[in-house]
Chains A and B, each alone.
Chain A
Amino acid sequence: MNNHLRTLRAERGWSQQDLAERLDVSRQSVNAIETGRYDPSLPLAFKIAELFACAIEDIFVSPSKG
């Protein structure tokens, strides 16, 4: 699933490791989500959205909308 996670992270000047620590996941996970290789579960997607103070759909692009 396409997403804007890398952009949001870069805007805050966080490394993948910084974001991983804030989400309590591995850097590997952050990388997999950012590159669209892994779609996070709903609880993790909510956690990401809450961290960036955004709605989930502001971060993750619906597959039906490309």
Chain B
Amino acid sequence: MSLRPEMKRYTYRLLLTFCVYAIALVGANMWFRHAPPSGLLAYVVAILPALPIMGVFVVIGRLLVEMRDEYVRMLMVRQSLIATGFALSVSTAWGFLEGFGLVEHAQGYWTTVLWFAGLGLGGCFNALTEWRAAR
């Protein structure tokens, strides 16, 4: 079965943001290693790898807007909500553990990693509900 046009656009945009992310991450690391920028430029360079990751959220948002199949859209919204709940819950719990000196400090971007892991959990939840309904 061929991919729907909105899914093709989503895949293309996602690949593009990941390529930009890889370039920005390697570039920023090399910049800081070989000729560390200072002042405002340092902030700009340091935030460069974050921009394509922010772009991923825009890409996912665009897919939700463009998706014509409302049931599949509902499944994806549910998956995203599970991811959001999971990422925020773990981050909050970690924050308190860190506050009481029980765990090491974790960089803020781990929340995004948790969110993507949460998408996997949401996907499993959707698959499980579909499987139970099909029985």
Closest residue to A38 on the B side, CB-wise?
B71
Instruction: Tell me whether A59 is interfacial, beta carbon within 8 Å.
Output: no
Q: What residues of A have a CB within 8 angstroms of the CB of B104 in the complex? A: none
Closest residue to A44 on the B side, CB-wise?
B70
**Inter-subunit contact A28/B71 (CB<8 Å):** yes
**Inter-subunit contact B68/A35 (CB<8 Å):** no
Q: Is the interface of B mostly helix, strand, loop or mixed?
A: helix
Q: Is the interface of A mostly helix, strand, loop or mixed?
A: loop
Q: How many residues of chain A have a CB within 8 Å of chain B?
A: 14
Instruction: Tell me whether A25 is interfacial, beta carbon within 8 Å.
Output: yes
How many whole Å from A7's CB to the nearest CB in chain B? 19
**Inter-subunit contact B133/A32 (CB<8 Å):** yes
Q: What residues of A have a CB within 8 angstroms of the CB of B70 in the complex? A: 25, 29, 40-41, 44
Give 13 CB contacts A-B under 8 Å.
Answer: A24-B68, A25-B68, A28-B71, A28-B130, A29-B71, A29-B72, A31-B134, A32-B71, A37-B133, A38-B71, A40-B70, A40-B71, A41-B70
Residues on A facing B (Cβ under 8 Å) = 24-26, 28-29, 31-33, 35, 37-38, 40-41, 44
